[in-house]
Amino acid sequence: MQDVLSMTYYWLKAGHIIFMVFWMAGLFMLPRQMLYMHSAPPGSEEEALWATRSGLLRTIILTPSIIVVWVLGLLLAMTIGAFDQGWFHAKLLLVIVLSGYHGWLVAKARKMAGGARPLNEKQLRLWGEFPAIMLALIVVLVIVKPF
């Protein structure tokens, strides 16, 4: 199995990066869509439109991307023997936190689609920056491998 994974390393890496970009794009877009939904009156056509858009974003981009990122990421880790490297443990922890954020944000978006407003606009703007911070930390860990 290790030999097969080694032969496909660059394909796994390319796929992992491509789907990571899709996932991050979705995580950047969802809070923005939630902001637009927030300003729409509950029960309005505008709110329904943004609820539909955020549902499609989750269904078409976010959910498939997080699954592929995890599968390809774990296969890559197996290929390069990353499980015994410190930088990988830190990266894995940050990806777990980012995955938790993903789930939390999706839950909030679903509540908003039902007419609730669980976060105010300031909170949505602040939480919208979270993926960028996590992305920067993860990229530094992967490229620099500080430990």
Q: Tens of pLDDT along 21-76?
A: 999 999 999 999 999 999 999 899 999 999 999 999 999 999 999 999 999 999 99
Q: Is the pLDDT score of 3 beyond 90?
A: no
Q: Is the pLDDT score of 2 beyond 70?
A: no
Give me the domain span that covers residue 49.
2-144
How many domains is the chain built from?
1
Q: Is the pLDDT score of 6 beyond 90?
A: no
Q: Is the pLDDT score of 5 beyond 70?
A: no
Q: Tens of pLDDT along 89-122?
A: 999 999 999 999 999 999 999 999 999 999 999 9
Nearest to 104 by CA among 147, 65, 58, 61: 58
Which residues does the annotation place in the binding site for heme? 16, 91
Provide mean pLDDT across the span 14-21. 98
CB 138 within 8 A of CB 92: no
Provide mean pLDDT across the span 84-91. 97
Which residues does the annotation place in the binding site? 16, 91
User: How high is the pLDDT of residue 4?
Assistant: 72
d(CA 58, CA 141): 27
